[in-house]
């Protein structure tokens, strides 16, 4: 079996080769690729397909590790003004020559250098960063022998190249609305993993992915929720749902309060925020309702939060522990005249008791996180699903249903007794509307409302 390193380097020689590159109606371009320069391969095509999914206004783009220049040429053909770089001087020369032959020398500039080089920085004003990450582990003694320059183009570093870029993105001179697109190896794990960006508070969507042999490659895009704009914080309010109505129109709007005196729960019930807990509301764009049903939005957000906090989701909108104690909940509100959909989330910080019933807190799942730290994680997870980014395609119903069902299955796999008005049911799936699909005695039944539904962990 050919290993990943051999496959990625297959075809290299002591001489330059010619490679023909075309994708999605763009090209073809004839590329000259010197040895020690990584030629266009399956991962290059995967990254190119993902970039073609971007829409909206083109501006200034930066490609790190441009290699032969294939991706920079594609970006220029899409209308981007590209600054490309590579630590390999042969790659720089190849890209310059290939760009000139393709007729894009006025749109693509190429410099020698890159992340890890002394004093290297991204250009100010760049709105898109693209990187086909080096993801191979350092070679074993019996692996193919590479020149140092060639090894640097394909091998990750122990701390992860993507993490080095993440540290650089904290530079205040970089556009807060910048979108970062990177190709990761996600299976098997590599030092450069999407979770590091998610944990840092970045929103994330998968643009494309594929399995090649024993590897899984995914092209992920990252952006700061609300382009870095802070959440509106109030010390105390009756309800963050009502506070959200007063927020300025437009953008990714959210409000947070650590004390909520008259919060609302499902069915008009009150939500009591225990001391130290978290109450927050997001204003989702009204366009969300054009794409998704309210029930699916609600279950998907519950699923995203359960993944973020590593707790369980209980259909349709509760967050619980494996033993059934409630940790928090999700509530959706939208009037016919409202300009947005309001999504309210309440979370307990510590375990306690409400109306004589034991409840859980996020302290059981996180290591001393503050309310603001928890909010930051929730914000990025919800933004990843529903924020309208000007360049990034929206999440579709199938993705939301799959996300929701995976979260519910986590509870179901541990054992849950489900009954509706005393009749035992077995959950078998979710509908595109977010309704619970059940089966009993060979008959399927769709449950759209929680009234009369009992969902309890098996003791």
User: Rounded to whole angstroms, how far apart are CA atoms 299 and 454?
Assistant: 17
pLDDT above 80 (res 337): no
pLDDT in tens, 46-84: 999 999 999 988 999 999 999 999 999 999 999 999 999
Average pLDDT, stretch 321-337?
89
pLDDT band for position 1 (cuts 50, 70, 90):
very low
Structure tokens at 96: 């310059």
pLDDT band for position 9 (cuts 50, 70, 90):
very low
User: Rounded to whole angstroms, how far apart are CA atoms 301 and 230?
Assistant: 21
Arithmetic mean of pLDDT over the chain: 89
**CB proximity list for 164: less than 8 A, separation 6 or greater:** 115, 116, 157
pLDDT above 90 (res 113): yes
- pLDDT for 63 equals 98
pLDDT band for position 5 (cuts 50, 70, 90):
very low
Domains of the chain are 4-223 (3.40.50.150), 229-413 (3.30.930.10), 414-457 (2.30.30)
First to last CA, the chain: 48
Closest listed residue to residue 72, CA positions, set 282, 413, 63, 48: 63
**Contact present, 336 and 255 (Cβ < 8 Å):** no
Average pLDDT, stretch 352-366?
88
**Contact present, 297 and 284 (Cβ < 8 Å):** yes
**Contact present, 370 and 401 (Cβ < 8 Å):** no
Q: Which residue has the higher pLDDT, 39 or 206?
A: 206
User: Rounded to whole angstroms, how far apart are CA atoms 257 and 371?
Assistant: 9
β-strand 340-347 against 326-333: which pairing, if any? antiparallel
Average pLDDT, stretch 166-178?
90
pLDDT band for position 139 (cuts 50, 70, 90):
low
Distances (CA, A) of 5 to 1, 213, 301, 327: 12, 12, 39, 46
pLDDT in tens, 400-440: 999 999 999 998 988 889 998 889 999 999 999 999 999 98
**CB proximity list for 300: less than 8 A, separation 6 or greater:** 292, 385, 400, 403, 404, 434
C-alpha angle with apex 260: 257 to 262, nearest 5 degrees? Answer: 145
pLDDT above 60 (res 147): no
352 burial (CB, 10 Å; 0-12 / 13-18 / 19+) is: middle
User: Rounded to whole angstroms, how far apart are CA atoms 123 and 126?
Assistant: 6
pLDDT above 90 (res 271): no
Sign of dihedral through CA atoms 181, 183, 188, 191? Answer: negative
pLDDT band for position 6 (cuts 50, 70, 90):
very low
pLDDT above 80 (res 45): yes
pLDDT above 90 (res 14): no
Distances (CA, A) of 265 to 81, 121, 373, 392: 49, 48, 23, 33
Closest listed residue to residue 173, CA positions, set 212, 134, 125: 125
pLDDT above 70 (res 172): yes
User: Rounded to whole angstroms, how far apart are CA atoms 264 and 260?
Assistant: 10
Structure tokens at 50: 């993902």
Q: Which residues of 154-168 are buried (b: 16+ CB within 10 A; e: fewer)?
A: bbbeeebbbbebbee
Question: Which residue in this structure is represented by tokens 């998610």?
Answer: 198
pLDDT in tens, 290-310: 999 999 999 999 999 999 999
pLDDT in tens, 230-270: 999 998 888 899 999 888 878 899 999 978 776 665 555 66
pLDDT band for position 195 (cuts 50, 70, 90):
very high
- pLDDT for 114 equals 92
Average pLDDT, stretch 302-324?
93
Task: Specify the pTM.
Answer: 0.90
pLDDT band for position 148 (cuts 50, 70, 90):
low
- pLDDT for 282 equals 96
User: Rounded to whole angstroms, how far apart are CA atoms 409 and 429?
Assistant: 9
- pLDDT for 442 equals 85
Structure tokens at 70: 């294939």
């Amino acid at each position: 079996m050919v290993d990943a390193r051999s496959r990625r380097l297959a075809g290299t020689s002591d001489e330059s080769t010619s490679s023909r590159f075309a994708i999605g109606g763009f090209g073809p371009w004839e590329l000259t690729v010197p040895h020690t320069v990584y030629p266009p391969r399956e991962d290059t095509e995967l990254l190119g397909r993902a970039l073609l999914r971007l829409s909206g206004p083109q501006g200034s783009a930066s490609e790190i590790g441009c290699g032969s220049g294939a991706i920079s040429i594609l970006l220029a053909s899409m209308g981007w003004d590209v600054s490309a770089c590579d630590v390999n001087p042969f790659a720089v020369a190849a890209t310059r020559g290939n760009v000139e032959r393709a007729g894009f020398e006025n749109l693509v500039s190429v410099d020698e250098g890159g992340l890890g080089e002394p004093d290297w920085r991204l250009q100010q004003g760049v709105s898109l960063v693209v990187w086909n990450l080096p993801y191979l582990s350092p070679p074993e003694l019996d692996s193919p022998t590479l020149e140092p320059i060639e090894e640097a183009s394909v091998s990750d570093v122990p701390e992860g190249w993507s993490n080095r870029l993440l540290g650089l993105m904290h530079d205040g001179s970089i556009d807060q609305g910048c979108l970062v697109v990177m190709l990761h190896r996600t299976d098997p794990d590599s030092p450069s993993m999407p979770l590091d960006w998610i944990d840092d508070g970045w929103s994330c969507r998968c643009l494309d992915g594929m399995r090649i042999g024993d590897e899984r490659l995914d092209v992920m895009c990252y952006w700061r929720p609300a382009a870095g704009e802070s959440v509106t914080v109030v010390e105390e309010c009756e309800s963050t749902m009502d506070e959200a109505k007063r927020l300025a129109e437009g953008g990714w709007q959210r409000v947070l309060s650590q004390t909520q005196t008259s919060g609302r729960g499902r069915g008009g019930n009150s939500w009591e925020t225990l001391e130290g807990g978290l109450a927050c509301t997001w204003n989702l764009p009204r366009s969300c309702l054009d794409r998704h049903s309210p029930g699916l939005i609600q279950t998907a957000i519950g699923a995203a939060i359960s993944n973020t906090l590593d707790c369980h989701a209980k259909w349709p909108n509760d967050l619980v522990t494996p033993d059934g104690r409630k940790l928090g909940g999700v509530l959706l509100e939208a009037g016919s005249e409202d300009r947005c959909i309001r999504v309210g989330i309440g979370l307990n910080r510590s375990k306690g008791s409400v109306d004589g019933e034991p409840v859980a807190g996020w302290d059981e799942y996180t290591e001393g996180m503050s309310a603001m730290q928890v909010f930051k994680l929730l914000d990025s997870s919800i933004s990843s699903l529903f924020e309208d980014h000007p360049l990034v395609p929206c999440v579709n119903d199938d993705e939301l249903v799959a996300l929701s069902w995976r979260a519910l299955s986590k509870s179901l796999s541990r054992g849950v007794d489900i009954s509706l008005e005393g009749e035992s049911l077995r959950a078998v799936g979710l509908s595109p509307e977010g309704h619970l699909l059940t089966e009993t005695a060979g008959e399927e039944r769709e449950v759209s409302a929680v009234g009369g539904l009992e969902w309890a962990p098996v003791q």
